[in-house]
Structure 1
Amino acid sequence: MNNKQILIYGAYGYTGELIARKAVAKGLRPILAGRSSSKLEPLATELGLPAIAVGLDDEETLKRTLQGVSVVIHCAGPFSATAEPMMRACIASGAHYQDITGEMAVYQQAHALDAEAKAANVVLCPGTGFDVIPTDCLAAALHREMTSATHLTLGFDSDSGLSPGTAKTSIESLGVGGAIRRNGKIEVIPHAELTRKINFGRGEKFAVAIPWGDVATAYYSTEIPNIEVYIPMSPRRAKKMKGLNKFRWLLRMNWMQQWLKGKVDKSVRGPTENQRAEQKTWVWGEVRNDRRGERRVGRVVTANGYDVTVNGSLAVMEFLLAYHGEGGYFTPSKLCGPELVEKLPGSGAIKIGID
């Protein structure tokens, strides 16, 4: 396994750097890659690692760069723009692909490339971080408990702040709205249209449905046709979020998106190591079969979302380095099993009951 080469693309971003440093601490020597040589060099020099500057729009150079690479951990967003060229380069060069996105469009694109990836014997596994390992594993465990489930609801509660990349992804959804799955199809809904009270694991809280990645991935993992995902939010903030609906047309405008993302660059910094160490995440899920009157609830407590992303990405990478199965598109639970989340540092066991 140690003779196989790993490449981390976007290694100088907040999460990419965390993954690179943890990989080195585990005795690995990944190649660091990204668009900017000036941003790559300081980190590569400090860690004593090789660095390659290559843009995702340079298709031939990118494919040559990936020759001999076994696994790519793609960390450069916005993934709506960067994931497809990297996935196609991995398929062309024979490298397994994973990323840390939470964007539904990327999961749908990977799913659409399933046949091409199978033919190349390449695994495509986007979402090997907090988006979506904990929720995906909990969804799979709940489905195993109730294979007849017709409805799946997921959610999580965390005190963690946003990294710049996650904040920018959130901005992209402002002009779109929320999303749920109904009767097997993804539906766009207004912001804060669906609310309910949920005990994520530390008391009942008011919660709002959000366009989380599991609206796509949990369906691929479980085939449950009705899926919603919630986070806690104060009623006051939910009301403000609802007020954004009338401005979605404006929030979709390119200049507005660029202005908002520029504000992120100036003001948002990811949490420090000490902050991450103090922030756990409570993940909750519910499956129902209303025709039978059946319901099960599952919970799992994990580390901070960014630590889950670092450790989850490296756990999937290690799995892929030893992998001898078929290629194609996989969710994390389909690739590594629902137990994956329980194996990550700081995670507890998945617990399922009637409440």
Structure 2
Amino acid sequence: MQWMIYGANGYTGELIARAAKQGGLSPVLAGRDAGRIEALARELDLPHRVFALDAADRVRDGLAGMALVLHCAGPFSATSAPMIEGCLAVGAHYLDITGEIAVFEHAQAQRARAEQAGIVICPGVGFDVIPTDCVALKLKELMPEATHLSLGFETASGLSPGTSKTVIEGFSTGCQVRRDGRIVDKPLAWGRRVIDFGAGPRSAMTIPWGDVSTAWCTTDIPNIDTWLPLPRAAIAAARLGNLFRPVLGNRWVQARLKGLVTRYVKGPDARARARLSTRVWGEARNRQGDRKVVRLTTANGYALTIDGALAVVMHLLSTTVTPGCHTPAGMLGADFVTRLPGSGAFSISDR
């Protein structure tokens, strides 16, 4: 069955395309940048298509004959909806590597349409959010009566251009958490605490990570927040940044900042990706105050995205999966992440 990597000319899309070819797979490479797509397709000896996402008929024509699309072209806040519509129209499974809450929420809203079209919609099949989603499900299995779930990660890897642009978009929205089943807006760095992600206590703050949406779908736990370790000075600066959120959300300012990203941000090289691992942490609590904590060490986020995304692709192309909207752990189980290269076993404790 034919399948496509859209955005194969981007940083992560190209890494996935090269890994797919090395693994004996033959995806169709696609994107809107004809020069870069054609050059990569020639180098890898793979088929290609060139089309933009600005018109529904172009997207449908571009996806004709595809059984599955792995969507890697960010920022996903702008690109995911038209690609999902195209997949619904042609009957192709939709996967992406986003970590954006709004994208997950939009995808979940298409559940009934996906069921009717007979396709699977599963965003977040990379570092965003495979490890944290699997930790969330493991905690749910350990504490079925949990009412509160906290998730976080610690990594030294740099950001790709696409991820950097997503972070810039987040400057204007502040933080989001889930409370009593609803997503609510909070100021930047609204929550602060000390967390041991696996290498000793670190100061940490809340961030608007995709699990605020996906972990709810995976676990039904009604209160969810997500955390990132940062120096106290950086957390203080983030809190101060709340004063400038209206300016940071200005369209001109956003465009200028994203332009700087395009010019200067290249993403970590192969040596950095191989050297740097990621620590993932999760904590579940029940009404009685009991706790369960799960820690996990994985490969670098970009390496995990490559292996995780391709593993989900192969699963969907070789296995019958109930149509609808899924999360990675919901579809492949809590232990999925531990089977990926560079991942260890879950470490479980009460603190």
1:95 aligns with 2:117: no
**In structure 2, distance between residues paired with 1:59 and 1:53:** 14
Q: Could you tell me which amino acid in structure 2 is paired with residue 144 of structure 1?
A: E
- In the TM superposition, what is the alpha-carbon distance from 1:68 to its structure 2 partner? 2.1
The residue number in structure 2 matching 1:185 is 182
- In the TM superposition, what is the alpha-carbon distance from 1:343 to its structure 2 partner? 1.0
TM-score, normalised with respect to structure 2:
0.99
1:133 aligns with 2:130: yes
After superposition, what is the alpha-carbon deviation per residue over 1:133-154, rounded to whole angstroms, capped at 9, x for unaligned? 0000000010011110000000
Q: Could you tell me which amino acid in structure 2 is paired with residue 191 of structure 1?
A: L
The residue number in structure 2 matching 1:37 is 34
Gaps of 5+ in 2: none
**In structure 2, distance between residues paired with 1:236 and 1:324:** 50
Q: Could you tell me which amino acid in structure 2 is paired with residue 336 of structure 1?
A: L
Count residues in correspondence: 351
1:329 aligns with 2:319: no
TM-score, normalised with respect to structure 1:
0.97
Q: Give secondary structure in 2 for the equivalent of 1:230.
A: strand
Q: Counterparts in 2 of 1:147-162, with a 5 A limit?
A: 147-162=144-159
1:292 aligns with 2:288: yes
Q: Give secondary structure in 2 for the equivalent of 1:69.
A: coil
Which aligned runs of 4 or more in structure 1 are off by greater than 4 angstroms? none
**In structure 1, distance between residues paired with 2:152 and 2:55:** 39
The residue number in structure 2 matching 1:85 is 82
Q: Could you tell me which amino acid in structure 2 is paired with residue 288 of structure 1?
A: R
**In structure 2, distance between residues paired with 1:328 and 1:151:** 26
Indicate if the aligned counterparts of 2:50 and 2:62 stay in contact, CA closer than 8 A.
no
Q: Give secondary structure in 2 for the equivalent of 1:276.
A: helix
1:342 aligns with 2:325: no
1:247 aligns with 2:270: no
The residue number in structure 1 matching 2:164 is 167
**In structure 2, distance between residues paired with 1:51 and 1:73:** 14
Q: Counterparts in 2 of 1:18-33, with a 5 A limit?
A: 18-33=15-30
1:200 to 197, 201, 208: 197
**In structure 1, distance between residues paired with 2:120 and 2:141:** 24
Gaps of 5+ in 1: none
1:304 to 300, 323, 336: 300
2:348 to 333, 337, 352: 352
Q: Could you tell me which amino acid in structure 2 is paired with residue 273 of structure 1?
A: A
Indicate if the aligned counterparts of 1:101 and 1:127 stay in contact, CA closer than 8 A.
yes
- Range with greater deviation from structure 2 (68-77 or 198-207): 68-77
- In the TM superposition, what is the alpha-carbon distance from 1:292 to its structure 2 partner? 2.1
Q: Percent identity of the aligned residues? A: 50
The residue number in structure 2 matching 1:257 is 254
**In structure 2, distance between residues paired with 1:313 and 1:102:** 13
The residue number in structure 2 matching 1:120 is 117
The residue number in structure 2 matching 1:50 is 47
Indicate if the aligned counterparts of 2:8 and 2:37 stay in contact, CA closer than 8 A.
yes
**In structure 1, distance between residues paired with 2:291 and 2:75:** 37
1:64 aligns with 2:61: yes
Q: Could you tell me which amino acid in structure 2 is paired with residue 333 of structure 1?
A: A
Indicate if the aligned counterparts of 2:178 and 2:223 stay in contact, CA closer than 8 A.
yes
2:314 to 297, 318, 321: 318
Q: Give secondary structure in 2 for the equivalent of 1:306.
A: helix
After superposition, what is the alpha-carbon deviation per residue over 1:97-156, rounded to whole angstroms, capped at 9, x for unaligned? 000000011100010000000001100000000000000000001001111000000010
